[in-house]
Amino acid sequence: MKKIVLIRHAKSSWDNPWLNDHDRPLAERGIKAAPIMGKRLLKKGIKPDLILSSSAERAVATAKLIVEAMEASPEIIEIEPNLYHASPSVMMKYIHMQKDSKETIFLVGHNPGLNDLIDYLGEYIDNLPTAGVFCFNLLVDSWAEMQAKTVKKDFWDYPKNKKRS
């Protein structure tokens, strides 16, 4: 069964408030949280075939830390500049373009776009926290057919979650 795992970048640093938003690095908290989430996904038996990442420094760093925690190859990360603060329609476009040989895809991006995509796909959460993950199972065999009626929520999780839904 195909899975799409939406991941909000980990907590970014505001040490330099004049730094261009695209270039903001991860904060210490984010550097710790991303591997935790990678290990939680691995514990659930979820390992990506592909990671699509926004080109923002904090998103790329999040993707790399997750891959490292999962002991996966960094070569599965594809950096896509158009995912930087992308709308749900842009994210869906990139998901629809993926090869059906990929069973599990992670998409590392930003809010409010990720929250809007979750809503578009028929679920609602108040806010996907930094380093939060939201996983959908596809009820179809083709990424091109992904839409609200062809997905089902699997789970969502975030670093401070004690319940682990």
d(C-alpha 52, C-alpha 95), whole Å: 9
Contact 156, 164 (CB under 8 A): no
Q: Side by side, which strands form the sheet with 3-8?
A: 77-80, 50-54, 104-109, 3-8, 133-138, 151-157
Contact 14, 24 (CB under 8 A): yes
Has 40 been labeled as part of a binding site? no
d(C-alpha 25, C-alpha 20), whole Å: 10
Please report, to the nearest 10 degrees, the dihedral formed by the alpha carbons of residues 38, 156, 31, 14 taken in order. 160
- Which residues line the annotated binding site? 58
- Which residues line the annotated binding site for substrate? 58
